[in-house]
Amino acid sequence: MICALERPPWPFRTASFDGVRAIHVLEHLPDLVAVMSEVARVLRPGGRLVVETPYFTSPKSWTDPTHRHHFTLDSLDYFVDGHRFGFEYTGPLFHLVEKRLSFGASVLGWPGRLLYRLSPRVYEERFAFLFPGRTLHLTLERA
């Protein structure tokens, strides 16, 4: 079935999927709040959303003219229970299972990997542009 992801509601029944993979997709869609709500609708409780997207310091995040969003470590936290921002767009739709940043296989990525392992928050606030991450990986579980 072909479906226009940018135009919810999607033609799937509520709670009809065990998993959704959004691999280099979310950065292209215009209404992230609507998409995340729709993913939550089509996932069964406990179902998982796997996301990969360019990290905001990656040149790939900015060179593609179809990218509408640039993601930080916390960009999807607005949809996760217990986040630190104090307000929500949708209410908590997901639980965070995993959040990680990859730097590629190059030896040049080792300072970023080390700083990120020591403190993801300090890495992002102080060193992300010096030692850019490449891809943000998230696994979220439907609440």
Is 4 inside any structural domain? Answer: no
pTM of the model: 0.93
For residue 12, being part of any structural domain is answered with no
Considering just the CA atoms, what is the radius of gyration of the chain in Å?
A: 16
Res 121: pLDDT: 96
User: For 7-42, what is each residue's pLDDT tens digit?
Assistant: 999 999 999 999 999 999 999 999 999 999 999 999
* pLDDT recorded at residue 84: 77
Residue 126: exposed, middle, or buried by beta-carbon count in 10 A (0-12, 13-18, 19+)? Answer: exposed
Q: What is the pLDDT, as a whole number, of residue 86?
A: 67
Q: How many domains does the chain have?
A: 1
3-state class (DSSP) for residue 116: helix
pLDDT of residue 32: 96
Q: Is residue 134 part of a domain?
A: yes
What's 48's domain CATH number? 3.40.50.150
Q: What is the pLDDT of residue 5?
A: 95
Within-domain flag for 3: no
Range of the domain at 78: 17-142
* Residue ranges for the chain with pLDDT beneath 70: 86
Domain for residue 78, yes or no? yes
Find, among 2, 49, 8, 1, the residue nearest to 29 by Cα.
Answer: 8
Rounded Cα distance, 112 and 127, in Å = 8
9 prior amide bond cis, ω within 30: yes
Report yes or no on 89 lying in a domain: yes
Question: What pLDDT, on the 0 to 100 scale, is given for residue 108?
Answer: 82
